[in-house]
Amino acid sequence: MKLIQMPVWKMTVSTMAGLALSCAAWAQGYPTKAITLVVPFAAGGPTDVVARTLGAAMTKTLGQSVIVENKTGAGGTIAAAYTARANPDGYTFLIHHNGMATAPVLYRKLNYKPLSDFEYVSQVIDVPMTLVGRKDLPAKDFKELMAYAKANSDKINLAHAGLGAVSHLCGVLLRQAMGVSMTTVPYQGTGPAMNALLAGQVDLLCDQTTSTTPHIKAGSIKLYGVTTASRLKTLPDTPTLAEQGLKDFQVVVWHGIYAPKGTPKEAVDKFGAALKTALKDPVVVQRLAELGAIVPSDAKLTPAGLQTWLQQETARYEPVIKAAGQFAD
């Protein structure tokens, strides 16, 4: 008896069609349970606030809760490694800032690869940085600060929120641009660094508007400039550092959302679409405005936009960190 075999090409087309229908059905039903958004930093911090604000709005669109899970430590690498190893089923995502670009240089024994171990979802927001000083610092503006810093380079100090924090990187770039060798004072987080500045224990701090704006408006610290390319709507009378002589100086805390490698495209796309909707939600818009946060251009609110930006930022910070000779391990 002769067996009749179905042609291979028919089997392939049939299999592909079945898979396509299966994926379509899966995407239509997704999500069917709560989604976890991993945050590398402590509850109440700037990244956590952004995550919870967006998560609440995205829940309305997705029909399932977006639950924030804080996995702190090691400059965000614990959370990133956890996400890289998570089940790529569309129910685990990571929100991270500039640390995704700096980790490969800061940590010489990193157990994941930021550029290849994740699916890219979207950029989220940019948060401007400010250069602030203790209330009784003699310099009343940035021009005077430059002169004061050069005259007191052996005495003036600059706080930051820990090795690898954006405040640390901003400080490294600031010292290079100003041509001044200041003493750096590391703290375990933005809160302790700001408290030290408020108490007059340190002279300067480069930190994001989410932390500094309330103290600036209260008059409890001095503001010397913003680190964005143009002036901020929330601080319209404050010139940028670039305006004041630090040519092309620009540092912002940027955020991106990632998923474990292999996460279905349908899940990435649906989560990304919900994110875009959330960024237009009136409650979110108001909250981000209060934080001084800026929504990136539409071109950056895409997987390709985030991937390109991460590649650029990795290339930008690598020589800076290597020149500083400071590593986290």
243: in domain: no
User: Do 43 and 120 belong together in one domain?
Assistant: yes
pLDDT bracket for residue 317 (50, 70, 90): confident
Lowest mean pLDDT among 19-28, 142-151, 263-272: 19-28
In a domain, 30, yes or no: no
pLDDT at 22: 52
Q: What does the pLDDT read at residue 9?
A: 45
Same domain, 137 and 218: yes
- Residue pointed to by tokens 């157990």: 111
User: Is there a contact between 239 and 115 (Cβ–Cβ < 8 Å)?
Assistant: no
Q: Is residue 143 part of a domain?
A: yes
Residue 304, pLDDT above cutoff 90: yes
CA–CA separation, 60 and 194 (whole Å): 35
Query: For position 206, which CATH number holds?
Result: 3.40.190.10
Same domain assignment for residues 197 and 275: no
* Residue at 287 is within a domain: yes
Query: In total, how many domains does the chain have?
Result: 2
The residue among 226, 261, 282 that closes a domain is 226
Euclidean distance between CA atoms 97 and 123, whole angstroms: 9
Cβ partners under 8 Å of residue 68, min gap 6: 37, 39, 43, 48, 51, 52, 55
pLDDT at 325: 79
Helix (H), strand (E) at residue 175: helix 166-178
The answer to whether residue 162 is domain-embedded is yes
Could you tell me the pTM of the whole model? 0.84
pLDDT in tens, 176-194: 899 998 999 999 888 899 9
Does position 6 have pLDDT exceeding 50, yes or no? no
Q: Assign 197 a pLDDT band (cuts: 50, 70, 90).
A: very high
Lowest mean pLDDT among 24-28, 192-196, 222-226, 294-298: 24-28
pLDDT > 70? residue 28: yes
What are the percentages of helix, strand and coil residues in the chain, rounded to 5?
A: 45, 20, 35
Report the 10 Å Cβ neighbour count for 292.
Answer: 23
Position 277 pLDDT exceeds 70 = yes
Q: How confident is the model at residue 25 (pLDDT cuts 50, 70, 90)?
A: low
Which of 209, 226, 243 is the C-terminal boundary of a domain?
226
Supply the pLDDT for residue 43. 87
3-class DSSP assignment, residue 12: helix
Is 134 in the same domain as 207?
Answer: yes
**pLDDT band, very low/low/confident/very high, at 163 (cuts 50, 70, 90):** confident
Q: How far apart are CA 321 and CA 168, in angstroms?
A: 10
Instruction: Provide the residue range defining the domain that includes 191.
Output: 128-226
For residues 137 and 212, membership in a common domain is answered with yes
Are residue 62 and residue 203 in the same domain, yes or no? Answer: no
In angstroms, the Cα distances linking 240 to 46, 91, 124, 225, 247 are 22, 41, 23, 5, 10
Cross-strand bridge partners of residue 260? 118
In a domain, 235, yes or no: no
Whether residue 143 is found in the same domain as residue 161:
yes
Radius of gyration of the chain (CA): 23
The answer to whether position 240 is within a domain reads no
Task: Indicate which CATH number applies to the domain containing 73.
Answer: 3.40.190.150
Worst-scoring range by mean pLDDT, 131-140, 174-183, 320-329?
A: 320-329
Residue 329 falls inside a structural domain? no
Higher pLDDT, 205 or 25: 205
| Residues 39 and 122 grouped into a single domain | yes
| CB 134 within 8 Å of CB 197 | yes
Average pLDDT over residues 293-320: 93
Residue 156 shares a structural domain with residue 175: yes
Angle, CA 161 vertex, CA 48 and CA 79 arms, to 5°? 45
Residue 18, phi then psi, degrees to nearest 5: -65, -40
pLDDT at 2: 45
Average pLDDT over residues 210-232: 93
| Pair (113, 133) in one structural domain | no
- Same domain flag for 66 and 136: no
